[in-house]
Amino acid sequence: MEDVAIIGVGQTNFSRSCGVSIRELCFDAYKEAMEGLDITNQDIDASITCSAPEYDKQRTPSGLISEYLELTPKPAFYVETVCSSSTTGLRIAWSLIKSGLHKVVAVIGFQKMSELTSREAAERMGRGADIIWEAPFGITMPAGYALYAQAHMTKYGTTEEQLAKIRVKNASYGAKNAKATYRKELSLNDVLTSDIVSNPLKRFDCCANADGASCIIVASEDVARKVTKIPIWIIGLGAATATMTMSGRKLLTGLTCSQEAAKQAYQMAGVGPEDIDVAEVHDCFTIAELLAYEDLGFAKPGEGVRLIEEKETYHDGKIPVNVDGGLLSKGHPIGATGGSQVRTVVRQLRGEATEAQVKDAEVGLVHNIGGVGQYGNVVILRR
Amino acid sequence: MEDVAIIGVGQTNFSRSCGVSIRELCFDAYKEAMEGLDITNQDIDASITCSAPEYDKQRTPSGLISEYLELTPKPAFYVETVCSSSTTGLRIAWSLIKSGLHKVVAVIGFQKMSELTSREAAERMGRGADIIWEAPFGITMPAGYALYAQAHMTKYGTTEEQLAKIRVKNASYGAKNAKATYRKELSLNDVLTSDIVSNPLKRFDCCANADGASCIIVASEDVARKVTKIPIWIIGLGAATATMTMSGRKLLTGLTCSQEAAKQAYQMAGVGPEDIDVAEVHDCFTIAELLAYEDLGFAKPGEGVRLIEEKETYHDGKIPVNVDGGLLSKGHPIGATGGSQVRTVVRQLRGEATEAQVKDAEVGLVHNIGGVGQYGNVVILRR
Band the pLDDT of A138: cuts 50, 70, 90.
Answer: confident
- Residues B144, B89 share a domain: no
Put simply, the answer to whether A101 touches B98 (Cβ < 8 Å) is yes
Between A324 and B117, the more confident residue is: A324
Residue A335 counted as domain residue: yes
State the average pLDDT over residues A214-233. 97
Question: Does one domain contain both B246 and B353?
Answer: yes
Contact A59 B124 (CB under 8 A): yes
Residues 6+ apart with CB under 8 A from A151: A252, A253
For residue A317, tell me if it sits in a domain: yes
Question: For residues B339, B344, B346 and B348, what is the CA-based torsion angle, rounded to 10 degrees?
Answer: -170
Closest partner CB to A131 (pick from B57, B245, B374): B57
Residue B58 has its nearest CB partner, among A76, A98, A131, at: A131
pLDDT, residue A1, reads 64
Q: Which residues of A touch B141 (CB under 8 A)?
A: none
**What is the per-residue pLDDT across A81-132, written as a single tens digit (0 to 9) for each?**
999 999 999 999 999 999 999 999 999 999 999 988 888 888 888 899 999 9
Set of chain B residues whose Cβ sits within 8 Å of the Cβ of A258: none
Assess whether pLDDT exceeds 70 at residue A323: yes
Say what the pTM is. 0.98
Q: How far is CA A331 from CA A31, A174, A177, in A?
A: 21, 10, 12
Q: Do A98 and B100 touch (CB under 8 A)?
A: yes
Residues A237 and A223 in one domain: no
- Tell whether the model's pLDDT for residue A73 goes beyond 70: yes
- What is the C-alpha to C-alpha distance for residues B293 and B290, in angstroms, rounded to an integer? 5
Domain limits at A157? 129-207+233-382
Distance from CA of A120 to the nearest CA of B (A): 13
For A348-380, what is each residue's pLDDT tens digit?
Answer: 999 999 999 999 999 999 999 999 999 999 999
User: For strand A211-220 and strand A363-370, is the pairing parallel, antiparallel, or unpaired?
Assistant: unpaired
Cβ separation B88–A82 shorter than 8 A? no
Confidence tier at A224 by pLDDT (50, 70, 90): very high
Name the amino acid, one letter, at A218. Answer: V
Report how far residue B108's alpha carbon sits from residue B41's, in angstroms, rounded to the nearest whole number. 14
The C-alpha of B48 sits at a distance from chain A's nearest C-alpha, in angstroms, of: 10
Instruction: Decide if A10 is inside a domain.
Output: yes
ipTM > 0.95? Answer: yes
Residues B259 and B348 in one domain: yes
Is residue A122 in some structural domain? no
Tell me, rounded to whole angstroms, the distance of Cα A207 from its chain centroid. 12
State how many domains chain B has: 2
Structural domain includes residue A124: no
Nearest CB to A54 within list B1, B59, B91: B59
Q: What is the pLDDT of residues B205-250, one digit of tens each?
A: 999 999 999 999 999 999 999 999 999 999 999 999 999 999 999 9
Active site residues of A: 83, 332
The tally of CA atoms less than 13 A away on the side-chain side of residue B348 is: 31
Query: Closest-CA residue in chain A for B55?
Result: A54
Residue A119 confidence (pLDDT): 85
Say which CATH number the domain at A249 has: 3.40.47.10
The arithmetic mean of pLDDT across residues A285-298, rounded, is 98
> Is there a contact between B136 and B55 (Cβ–Cβ < 8 Å)?
no
Please tell me the predicted confidence (pLDDT) of residue B2: 77
pLDDT recorded at residue A56: 85
Question: E strand or H helix at A214, and its extent?
Answer: strand A211-220
- Which residue from A minimizes the CA distance to B60? A128
- Please name the member of A64, A77, A99 whose beta carbon is closest to the beta carbon of B130: A64
- Binned at pLDDT 50, 70 and 90, residue A270 comes out as very high
Q: Are B24 and B133 part of one and the same domain?
A: no
Chain B CB contacts of A370 below 8 Å:
60, 63
A&B contacts, CB < 8 Å: 186
Q: Which residues of B are catalytic?
A: 83, 332
Average pLDDT, chain B: 97
Answer yes or no: do B88 and A79 touch at CB < 8 A: no
Contacts of A234 in chain B (CB under 8 A): none
Examine the fold and report which residue of A232, A265, A287 is the final residue of a domain before the chain moves on: A232
Contact A73 B370 (CB under 8 A): no
- CB hemisphere CA count around A185 (13 angstroms): 6
Complete DSSP assignment for A233-289: EEEEEEEEE--SSGGG-S-SSS-HHHHHHHHHHHHHHT--GGG-SEEE---SBHHHH
Q: Do B293 and B159 share a structural domain?
A: yes
Yes or no, beta carbons of A78 and B79 under 8 Å apart: yes
Name, in order, each residue with C-beta under 8 angstroms of B303's C-beta and a sequence gap of 6 or more: B294
Instruction: Verify whether the Cβ–Cβ distance A1 to B127 is below 8 Å.
Output: no
Answer yes or no: do B169 and B100 share one domain: no
**Cα nearest neighbour of A239 on chain B:** B75
Cα→Cα distances A104→A34, A36, A175, A237, Å: 12, 16, 34, 18
The answer to whether B290 and B163 have CB atoms below 8 angstroms apart is: yes
Residue of A53, A96, A243 lying closest to B54 (CB–CB): A53
pLDDT digits (tens, 9 = 90+) for B159-203: 999 999 999 999 999 999 999 999 999 999 999 999 999 999 999
Residues 6+ apart with CB under 8 A from A36: A8, A228
Please report the pLDDT score of residue B1 as a whole number: 64
Asked if the bond preceding B273 is cis, omega within 30° of 0, the reply is no
Sequential DSSP letters for B140-181: -HHHHHHHHHHHHHHHH---HHHHHHHHHHHHHHHTT-TT-S
Question: Does residue A133 form part of some domain?
Answer: yes
> Is the domain of B108 the same as that of B218?
yes
- Are residues B97 and B74 part of one domain? yes
Query: Is residue A306 included in any domain, yes or no?
Result: yes
In this structure, the number of other CB atoms found within 10 A of the CB of residue A344 comes to 29
As a whole number of angstroms, the distance between CA B64 and CA B147 comes to 40
Closest CB to B370: pick one of A21, A53, A60.
A60
Q: What is the pLDDT of residue B57?
A: 87
Query: Shortest Cα distance from A362 to chain B (angstroms)?
Result: 24
Q: Does any domain span residue A123?
A: no
Helices marked H in B49-140 = 61-68, 85-98, 118-126
Rama region for A213: left / alpha / beta (φ>0; ψ in -120 to 50; rest) = beta
Greater confidence (B117 vs A46) lies with A46
One domain for residues A108 and A172: no
Which of B64, B102, B268, B372 is most worth mutating to test chain A (most A CB atoms within 10 A of its CB)? B64
Q: Residue B62: its chain A contacts at CB < 8 A?
A: 80-81
Asked if residue A110 and residue A138 are part of one domain, the reply reads no
Asked if A90 and A112 sit in the same domain, the reply is: yes
